[in-house]
Amino acid sequence: MNKVFTKKIKTFDNAKSGLDETIFHNANGYIGVRGTLEEGVPAEWDTMRGMYINGFYEVIPMKQAENLCNFVDKKETMLNVCDTQTIKLNVNGLDFSLLTGKTLSNERTLDMEAGITSRAVRWQSPRGDKISLNVKRMTSFEELSLFTQEYSVTAENFDGELVVSSLHLPEVYNYSDPNDPRLAADSEQFLHCITADIKDSISYTVTETAVSKLRCAVLSAHALDAKRSRVCVSKTDDNTFIYNAVIHINKGETITLTKYTIITDSLRFEDPLKTGFDKLSAVLKNGIAYYYEKQRRYLTDFWSKAMMEIQNDNEMSLAVNFNMYQLLQSATKDSFGNIAAKGLSGEGYEGHYFWDTEMFMLPFFVLTNPRLAKQILKYRYQTLDKARENARLLGHKKGALFPWRTITGVECSGYYPSGTCQYHIDGDIAYAIINYYLVTGDLDFIKDYGAEILLESARLWLDVGFFDKDRFVINMVTGPDEYTCMVNNNYYTNMVAKYNLEWAVKFIKLLDDKDLSKALRKKLKLTDEELTTMSEASHKMFLPFSEELGVIPQDDSFFDKPVWDLKKTPKSDFPLLLHYHPLHLYRYQVCKQADTVMAFLLFPECADKDIMKRSFEYYENITTHDSSLSKCAFSVVAARLGMRDKAYSYFGNSAKLDLMNLHHNTKDGIHTANMGGCYMSVVYGFAGLSITEEGCFLNPFLPDKWEGYTFKFGYMGSVLKVEVDQTNVKISLEDGDDVSVNLYGKLQKITKKTPAKAPLQ
């Protein structure tokens, strides 16, 4: 299966360079490096030259025009921590640049099986000297602090002199765009050197933030394969290090410079610099070939569980594999981070974590790498005390409210109507924990972490909502649709709250039955009366419905507003959030993204199918899909409702969103949630996968444009392979114990020798 993406770059210009910086970035969940050109671009160009650490941040002021009680007045932001990717080349006295001389060929490649990106350039200088430049980059999955560059130059038609200058810049700036609310408004230097020196030709620095007091150590070492060279390492007055190699090269000869960068931080290590030297020593001893081999082995294991193949559509196969690979690159591998909205590919949304992780990305990991999924979920438990504090700041006497956007667990959203007011994040996290349990059966995780989160979230729902006669209502919240804010009884919010309350009680009963709940009951001072109230609130949760239209309203007042005419809105006015005041948007029936439709995705049995279909069609006409989280949700729901052509249409737009830059902002970073949604479209949509208390269910169909598709998923510790072609469906046991699945409503036991089979429906 093709997992190599190659892009031939015919023209090199400002408009396209930012997109390539994102598409060809390298990351491993701990560090991320933008795919900027080693030699750089002109100063006036719009480039985001960044290297990042997951969870590493500075605290900066957030100005409020009227700083009312407990308004957020500061936020955390992800930092550009250094620049060690700069390598400049001089050929016989002339600087190599794609803007001078003649570019004979130029392509970039992402190899998702080897875990590297590469550049292959043939260039002719203004003097006529021709070179071939090949660069390989890698962020290691074996040693998470390691970033490598293998820089090779071949003299095609000359004998002469090359000068290779490799830089290590410890003091860098963050990117900004004051015209885009999804980016920081100001470009600032947040890290300042406290140590900068050279030891045995290794440049090393320690930088520190002013407020968070976090430290980052960066070490850079080089290995040069050249017969005749003069090398020196020096430091300038501004703490820039330069590794300079003057090399005599003959026609047809190739020289290779291998650059090793180690990045460590004080969040994870008591002494980042000492740890950095220890790690670099081991790396230099092992050599680059060792890490290339480890990278390939890691990814062989990853693809063996996460494989997805589409027959007769290589372009779509490449897109879905690209999306899964980017999810792996973005996901934290330790307990100090999560998955940011842009992963580690850029500074869009300032490295913040949203509901995106639990709702759109985690399902992929739950089904393909439950160990990593559990690690990601633990982050929410580790920030639970801060969620409790956040609830108190908002006036709640009990419970926990997780922040809308955050790095460490504190709220970083300054515009509360479409930020903090999105209380549904508590229910989203609860849903993810329940989903993890239903897929894995991991009751120990529930005992140690999950149940406490659900109970504290359930307490929050009891505090924000109230009993109104024979129903439980929740007022003044915002659902997923950020064009409709601060409403009563948002359908999606009430549904996730209902589910959260129900399962909080259910988990305690499960733990009670195994005599595992005593410690948790004591810690939370949990009473049976409180559990009874939770159960009653869940049972009596108000879910609005319009008898007149036969449609589920997004909230109590949604149908009281005029409908926005999307057909008459100029294309230049999209996304609407950049062209209309929020209050103007709030007064209309217009949706940024799936909201009620998102509820249908999570709860396919929440309403009669005829009602869901009418509701789906209603929201289709008023949804802009200005959010990248939207079309994948519409795809899954359309598939479940039998609207197969629509399901595929929404899926196609979702799958290729970043590769084709469909939202025109991939330069700021990948859309990680959409990438997870793309996976969900195939597995939950086309394959009809559903895992509930009653078991595992599949109802596959085959899109008309495909000849077949195959994917794997995990269930109760076993790995299953699903194969769908034009006539049959086959589900095989790849690893683990025998399991039973419901295929088209018929329960079948799957063993190594007996797969489940059925004619395609």
Is 90 exceeded by the pLDDT of residue 406? yes
Confidence of residue 473 (pLDDT cuts 50, 70, 90): very high
Same domain, residue pair 255 and 373 = no
pLDDT digits 0-9 by tens, 223-250: 999 989 999 999 999 999 999 999 999 9
| CATH number for 250 | 2.70.98.40
* Phi, psi angle pair for 195, to nearest 5°: -145, 135
Same domain, residue pair 261 and 396 = no
- Residue 654: the pLDDT is 87
Same domain, residue pair 284 and 375 = no
Q: Please tell me whether residue 294 adopts helix, strand or coil conformation.
A: helix
Quick check: is 80 in a domain?
yes
Same domain, residue pair 364 and 453 = yes
- Residue 175: the pLDDT is 86
Peptide bond preceding 575: is omega within 30 degrees of 0, i.e. cis?
Answer: yes
Is 70 exceeded by the pLDDT of residue 287? yes
List beta partners, residue 220: 203, 261
| Residue 72, CA distances (Å) to 63, 180, 394, 418 in order | 9, 20, 11, 14
Please tell me the distance from the alpha carbon of residue 739 to that of residue 696, in angstroms, as a whole number.
Answer: 9
- Residue 510: the pLDDT is 98
Instruction: Note down the domain range covering 234.
Output: 25-302
Quick check: is 280 in a domain?
yes
Confidence of residue 101 (pLDDT cuts 50, 70, 90): very high
- Residue 2: the pLDDT is 77
- Residue 14: the pLDDT is 82
328: CB partners within 8 A, 6+ apart: 29, 302, 306
Same domain, residue pair 363 and 257 = no
- Residue 182: the pLDDT is 59
Mean pLDDT score across all residues of the chain: 96
- Residue 370: the pLDDT is 97
Quick check: is 347 in a domain?
no
Quick check: is 701 in a domain?
no
pLDDT digits 0-9 by tens, 174-187: 987 766 665 665 66
Is 80 exceeded by the pLDDT of residue 742? yes
State the virtual CA torsion across 341, 347, 350, 354 in degrees, nearest 10: 0
Quick check: is 662 in a domain?
no
CB of 62 within 8 A of CB of 72?
yes
* CB-count exposure of residue 238 (10 Å: 0-12, 13-18, 19+): exposed
Quick check: is 215 in a domain?
yes
Q: Which helix (H) or strand (E) holds 746?
A: strand 746-750
> Using CA of residue 733, residue 738, residue 744, residue 746, what is the dihedral sign?
positive
Is 90 exceeded by the pLDDT of residue 673? yes
CB of 455 within 8 A of CB of 519?
no
Q: Which helix (H) or strand (E) holds 375?
A: helix 370-382
What single string gives the DSSP state of each residue in 400-454? Answer: ----SSBSSSS---S-GGGTTT-THHHHHHHHHHHHHHHHH--HHHIIIIIHHHH
Same domain, residue pair 263 and 375 = no
Share of the chain above pLDDT 90, in %: 93
- Residue 232: the pLDDT is 96
* Domain tally, the chain: 2
List beta partners, residue 692: 695
pLDDT digits 0-9 by tens, 601-635: 999 999 999 999 999 999 999 999 999 999 999 99
Confidence of residue 104 (pLDDT cuts 50, 70, 90): very high
Same domain, residue pair 281 and 371 = no
CB of 678 within 8 A of CB of 698?
no
- Residue 15: the pLDDT is 79
pLDDT digits 0-9 by tens, 519-559: 999 999 999 999 999 999 999 999 999 999 999 999 999 99
Same domain, residue pair 509 and 608 = yes
Quick check: is 543 in a domain?
yes
Q: Is residue 482 annotated as part of the catalytic site, yes or no?
A: yes
CB of 153 within 8 A of CB of 245?
no
Mean pLDDT computed over 52-64: 94
398: CB partners within 8 A, 6+ apart: 391, 459, 460, 462, 463
Same domain, residue pair 278 and 380 = no
534 alpha-carbon distance from chain centroid: 33
Is 70 exceeded by the pLDDT of residue 29? yes
- pTM for the predicted model, two decimal places: 0.96
Mean pLDDT computed over 354-362: 97
Please tell me the distance from the alpha carbon of residue 690 to that of residue 683, in angstroms, as a whole number.
Answer: 9
Please tell me the distance from the alpha carbon of residue 628 to that of residue 620, in angstroms, as a whole number.
Answer: 15
- Residue 54: the pLDDT is 98
pLDDT digits 0-9 by tens, 575-602: 999 999 999 999 999 999 999 999 999 9
- Residue 63: the pLDDT is 86
CB of 629 within 8 A of CB of 356?
yes
Same domain, residue pair 255 and 385 = no
| CATH number for 415 | 1.50.10.10
Same domain, residue pair 623 and 477 = yes
Is 90 exceeded by the pLDDT of residue 268? yes
- Residue 187: the pLDDT is 61
Q: Which of 76, 482, 502, 723 is catalytic?
A: 482
Where among 302, 318, 346 does a domain terminate?
302
Q: Please tell me whether residue 35 adopts helix, strand or coil conformation.
A: coil
Where among 631, 656, 681 does a domain terminate?
656
- Among 27, 85, 5, 81, residue whose Cα is nearest residue 345: 27
pLDDT digits 0-9 by tens, 675-706: 999 999 999 999 999 999 999 999 999 999 99
Quick check: is 332 in a domain?
no
SS3 content of the chain, % helix, strand, coil (to 5): 35, 25, 40
Please tell me the distance from the alpha carbon of residue 618 to that of residue 610, in angstroms, as a whole number.
Answer: 12
Reduce the secondary structure of 453-515 to three states and give it as a string: HHHHHHHHHHHHEEEECCEEEECCECCCCCCCCCECCCHHHHHHHHHHHHHHHHHHHHHHHCC
Where among 627, 656, 685 does a domain terminate?
656
Mean pLDDT computed over 485-499: 98
Same domain, residue pair 257 and 404 = no
